[in-house]
């Protein structure tokens, strides 16, 4: 998940209103939620180590205890990946003409080594107003909130007009893993069919004192794609080196990639984001953003705006070298040199089109291939008022005075698999995070206790606002 990129974008926007969050509540209904959340965090779901199938079964048990039947719940996995299963649950709506909404999230987490952490990463620890543990943010906070909402809807006898679906899957954090969202989209699309989906990727930002700055809804994302650069050579003895060297040829190709700037582009979302950012930032950068909005080919304006690495990435496709491997002996000329190029492809651009660009940059002596798996092309959803305005309206109740900003993630989520079959996906706002990204994907991941419970209340009311 791309929580860190969201926080960087929010920081860049510079929207600080100085509104202090209310502390976590101690209502009776929060204890069952905490138990669910704790169980999820303490269930290791690292792909290849833990089990998303186990976590899915735990959620199913709680849903059934709330009154859901076997017909309402689908647990799925495949024989080759028995521990990478997921769950879909359905709360039927009363109006068959109203299209469903989908609440989506992922159960798998990034690896966490106990020796590197101050606390056991798979034990939920409350300390100094924070919950610590792997997945406390990414993405078990939202997964628990969605599952808890489905449970409370049933317990309270809530009868939505629109059907509400829940899909929690595995494989989002690992490129080569079995991906449950992809499997559902390809094999059981009827289970997840919806007018739109609410996903991770949105949220909110707190300052260092825990004051709310702004809310964000993710509207669109880039597609992540890896490419391999390969140079082969006959090699030979290093005592008589010719100019034709696989490492040098690869280095030249990598320098060409480093020096290349993909063209500036805008979606409706990024145009709205940069328009708001220009007004907030002002000064040289704000003026440059305004010029770039008027003329994406303004190189001078681009140079000013791109001093900020996150704004730079929000403007375009980016490609960067991330892995190198070359040579076979210290006294021999390299026979083989390879590099991995990680690209984040702007919505509307394609894997094949980016491949053509990379081949041109690399030159004829370098073989360039797109690595498997090849993910779908990112399809940006629209800034649909039917989706955005309820977010804003409910936020005025829960977070008065805090503005809501549409953002495009410079990373990628499982939303691309659902968008590929026609389901627009929006990263829901509501979960406020710290300026340092809460340790997501890193050490000592944590979430502010008050932020978690405030998010739970906001998202519960938001789903009801959509469902009717």
CB 98 within 8 Å of CB 468: yes
- Residues 451, 458: Cα–Cα separation, whole Å: 10
What pLDDT, in 10s, does the model give residues 11-67?
555 433 333 444 455 788 999 999 999 999 999 999 999 999 999 999 999 999 999
- Looking at domain 3-222+378-467, its CATH class is alpha beta
Q: What angle do CA 357, 359, 363 make, to 5 degrees?
A: 125
Hey, which residues does 205 pair with through a beta bridge? 214, 433
| Peptide bond before residue 139 is cis, with ω within 30 degrees of 0 | yes
Give per-residue pLDDT as tens, 317-339: 999 999 999 999 999 999 999 99
Q: Distances in Å between the alpha carbon of 458 and those of 84, 135, 152, 382, 452?
A: 30, 20, 14, 23, 10
| 407-452: pLDDT as tens digits | 998 888 999 999 999 999 999 999 999 988 899 999 999 999 999 9
* Predicted confidence band of residue 212 (pLDDT cuts 50, 70, 90): very high
Cα separation, 270 vs 315, in Å, equals 8
pLDDT in tens, 93-143: 999 999 999 999 999 999 999 999 999 999 999 999 999 999 999 999 999
CA atoms within 13 A on the CB side of 191: 24
Interval 150-179: pLDDT, tens: 999 999 999 999 999 999 999 999 888 899
The answer to whether 194 and 206 are in contact (CB under 8 A) is: no
Cis peptide bond N-terminal to 373, omega within 30: yes
Tens of pLDDT, residues 218-232: 999 998 999 999 999
DSSP 217-236: EEEEE-EEEEEEEEEE---E
Q: Could you tell me the pLDDT band of residue 380, with boundaries at 50, 70 and 90?
A: confident
**CATH architecture of the domain with residue range 223-262+317-375:** 2-Layer Sandwich (3.30)
- Confidence at residue 280, expressed as pLDDT on a 0 to 100 scale: 83
Of the candidates 350, 178, 334, 184, the one whose C-alpha atom is nearest the C-alpha of residue 244 is 334
Contacts of 364 (CB under 8 A, 6+ apart): none
* Residues 189-211, mean pLDDT to the nearest whole number: 95
Contact status, residue 219 vs residue 331, Cβ threshold 8 Å: no
The SS3 call for residue 88 is strand
At 52, phi and psi to the nearest 5? Answer: -70, -30
pTM of the predicted protein model? 0.87
Question: Domain ranges in the chain?
Answer: 3-222+378-467, 223-262+317-375, 265-312
Would you state the structure tokens that stand for residue 343, as one six-digit string?
């690209």
């Amino acid at each position: 998940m791309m929580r860190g990129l969201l926080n960087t974008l929010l920081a860049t926007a510079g929207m600080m209103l100085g509104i202090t969050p209310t502390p976590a509540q101690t209502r009776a209904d929060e204890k069952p939620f905490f138990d669910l959340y704790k169980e999820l965090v303490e269930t290791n779901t690292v792909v290849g180590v833990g089990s998303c199938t186990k976590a899915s079964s735990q959620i199913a048990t709680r849903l059934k205890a709330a009154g859901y039947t076997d017909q309402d719940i689908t647990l799925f996995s495949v024989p080759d990946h028995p521990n990478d299963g997921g769950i879909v649950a359905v709360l039927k709506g009363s109006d068959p003409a109203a299209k469903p909404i989908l609440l989506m999230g992922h159960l798998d987490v990034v690896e966490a080594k106990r020796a590197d952490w101050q606390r056991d990463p798979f034990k939920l620890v409350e300390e100094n107003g924070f919950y610590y543990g792997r997945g406390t943010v990414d993405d078990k906070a939202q997964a628990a909130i969605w599952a808890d909402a489905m449970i409370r809807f049933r317990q309270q006898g809530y009868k939505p007009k629109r059907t509400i679906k829940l899909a929690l899957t595995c494989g989002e954090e690992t490129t080569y893993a079995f991906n449950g969202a992809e499997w559902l989209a390809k094999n059981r699309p009827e289970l997840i069919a919806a007018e739109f989906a609410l996903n991770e990727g949105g949220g909110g930002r707190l300052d260092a004192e825990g004051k709310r700055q702004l809310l964000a809804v993710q509207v669109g994302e880039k597609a992540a794609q890896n490419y391999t650069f390969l140079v082969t050579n006959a090699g030979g003895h290093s005592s008589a080196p010719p100019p034709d060297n696989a490492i040098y040829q690869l280095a030249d190709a990598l320098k060409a990639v480093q020096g290349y700037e993909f063209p500036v582009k805008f979606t409706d979302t990024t145009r709205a984001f940069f328009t708001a950012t220009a007004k907030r930032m002002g000064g040289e950068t704000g003026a440059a953003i305004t010029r770039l909005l008027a003329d994406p080919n303004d190189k001078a304006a681009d140079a000013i705006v791109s001093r900020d690495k996150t704004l730079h990435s929000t403007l375009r496709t980016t490609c960067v070298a991330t892995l190198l491997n070359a040579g076979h002996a210290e006294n021999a000329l390299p026979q083989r040199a390879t590099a991995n190029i990680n690209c984040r492809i702007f919505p509307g651009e394609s894997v094949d089109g980016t491949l053509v660009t990379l081949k041109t940059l690399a030159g004829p002596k370098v073989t360039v291939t797109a690595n498997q798996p090849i993910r779908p092309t990112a399809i940006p959803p629209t800034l649909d008022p039917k989706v955005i305005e309820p977010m804003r309206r409910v936020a005025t109740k829960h977070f008065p005075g805090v503005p809501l900003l549409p953002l495009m993630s410079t990373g990628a989520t499982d939303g691309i698999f659902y968008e590929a079959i026609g389901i627009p996906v929006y990263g829901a706002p509501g979960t406020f995070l710290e300026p340092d990204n809460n340790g997501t994907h890193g050490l000592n991941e944590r979430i502010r206790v008050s932020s978690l419970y405030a998010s739970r209340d906001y998202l519960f009311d938001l789903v009801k606002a959509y469902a009717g």
